[in-house]
Amino acid sequence: MSTRLKLKLAAQQLQKGNVIAYPTESVIGLGCHPLDKLAVQKLLTIKQRSVDKGLILIASHIEQLLPFIDVNEQQFNKLQQKTDKPVTWLVKASPLTPCWLTGNHKKIAVRLTQHPLCKQLCETTGYPVVSTSANRSAQPAAKTILKTRQYFGDMVDYYLSGDIQGYSKPSEIRDLETDEIIRAS
């Protein structure tokens, strides 16, 4: 099956409110449509994760994130700077950002993905995708689609095959306002 067709099928699953698995920079991710509350609840149930923690949005370009974030010009420019490793930024959430994405926080985690397949997925959908590691509490994050299938089976609606980018650790998490490192990579 061609990559274009796989991406189209993945995008259709997201639009239907389903949960997909896909490769990211360092692990396999689980994702769904960010504005579909039921899809987010399904994803959180699969992961056995509390909504209070909040979730990450990945996007192919910053314009996809603008409805979800509240940034000034300097922060806007900083978000777009190339980095030598994946960086997830904690950014002040827009007042319109749903609480099922931010959890108990006033900020939302966002990443401009550099993974070619993730970028193409966001381009195909036209919007950012919720992204969280493919694991349950106390389990290591899956690094292959096969391991993800072993963890979740048919609870995940679609598996977008591909390889992780090869980073050994999850993305660094950094606060956009303070530059504080929340999670080192």
Q: What is the pLDDT of residue 38?
A: 98
Backbone angles phi, psi at 47, to 5 degrees: -80, -15
Q: What is the pLDDT of residue 167?
A: 82
Instruction: Tell me how many domains the chain contains.
Output: 1
pLDDT category, 23, cuts 50, 70, 90?
A: very high
Q: What is the pLDDT of residue 135?
A: 95
**Better-predicted residue by pLDDT, 59 or 172:** 59
Q: Is the pLDDT of residue 185 over 80?
A: no
Nearest to 159 by CA among 57, 16, 9, 2: 9
**Better-predicted residue by pLDDT, 61 or 137:** 61
Cβ atoms within 10 Å of 179's Cβ, excluding its own? 9
58's tokens: 């990945």
Q: Is the pLDDT of residue 171 over 90?
A: no
Find the domain containing 92 and state its range. 3-183
| 89-147 confidence digits (pLDDT tens) | 999 999 999 999 999 999 999 999 999 999 999 999 999 999 999 999 778 999 999 99
Give the three-class secondary structure for 105. Answer: coil
- What b/e readout covers 25-64, taking b as 16+ CB neighbours within 10 angstroms? bbbbbbbbbbbbeebbebbbebbebebeebbbbbbbeeeb
Q: Rounded CA gap, 77 and 12, in Å? A: 32
CATH of the domain at 49: 3.90.870.10
Q: What is the pLDDT of residue 99?
A: 96
Which residue has 């966001």 as its token pair? 122
Q: Which amino acid is at 157?
A: D
- For the chain, list the strands marked E by DSSP: 20-23, 28-31, 56-59, 87-92, 107-112, 129-133, 158-159, 172-175, 181-183
Q: Is the pLDDT of residue 170 over 90?
A: no
Average pLDDT score, the chain: 94
